[in-house]
Amino acid sequence: MANIFDVASEAGVSHQTVSRVVNGDPRVRPATRQRVDAAIAKLHYRPSAAARALASRKTRALGLLSTGGPLFGPSSIMQGFDGAAREAGYQVSIATIARADDDAMLLQIRQAVDALLGQNVEAIVVIAPDSAAIDAIRAMPVSVPLVVADTGQYDGVVSVSLDQFAGAVLASEHLASLGHRSIVHVAGPSDWTDALERERGWRSACDRLGLDAPEPLRGDWSPESGYRLGQGLADRAARGEVTAVFCANDQMALGLLHAFSERRIPVPGQVSITGFDDVPESRHFIPPLTTVRQDFTALGRQIMATVESLVGAAEAVEPPLVPVPELIVRSSTARVSG
pTM as predicted: 0.78
283 shares a domain with 186: yes
Tell me the CATH number at 15.
1.10.260.40
Task: Give the number of domains in the chain.
Answer: 3
Phi, psi for 138 (deg, rounded to 5): -65, -30
Structural domain including 109 reads: 61-159
286 shares a domain with 168: yes
178 shares a domain with 87: no
Q: Answer with the residue of higher pLDDT: 324 or 182.
A: 182
234 shares a domain with 147: no
Across 299-309, b (16+ Cβ under 10 Å) vs e yields: bbbbbbbbbbb
- What mean pLDDT value characterizes the chain? 87
> pLDDT (tens digit, 9 = 90+) per residue, 111-129?
888 888 888 899 999 887 7
Q: Confirm whether 70 is domain-assigned.
A: yes
Determine the Cα–Cα distance for residues 220 and 257; give it in Å rounded to an integer: 16
Q: Confirm whether 316 is domain-assigned.
A: no
87 shares a domain with 23: no
121 shares a domain with 228: no
> pLDDT (tens digit, 9 = 90+) per residue, 4-27?
888 889 999 987 788 788 777 778
Phi, psi for 115 (deg, rounded to 5): -65, -40
126 shares a domain with 102: yes
Last residue of a domain, one of 159, 184, 218: 159
- The set of residues, in sequence order, having a beta carbon less than 8 Å from that of 17 and lying 6+ positions away, is 8, 11, 28, 32, 36
> pLDDT (tens digit, 9 = 90+) per residue, 19-60?
788 777 778 888 998 999 999 888 888 765 545 544 445 678
* Confidence bin at 338 (pLDDT 50/70/90): low
> pLDDT (tens digit, 9 = 90+) per residue, 63-90?
998 886 778 888 888 899 999 998 888 9
149 shares a domain with 70: yes
The CA distances from residue 278 to 178, 188, 216, in Å, are 20, 16, 21
Q: Confirm whether 307 is domain-assigned.
A: no
281 shares a domain with 181: yes
> pLDDT (tens digit, 9 = 90+) per residue, 295-328?
988 888 889 888 988 887 545 455 556 678 999 9
Q: Confirm whether 327 is domain-assigned.
A: no
Tell me the CATH number at 110.
3.40.50.2300
Give yes or no for a contact between 165 and 204, defined as CB atoms under 8 angstroms apart: yes
215 shares a domain with 260: yes
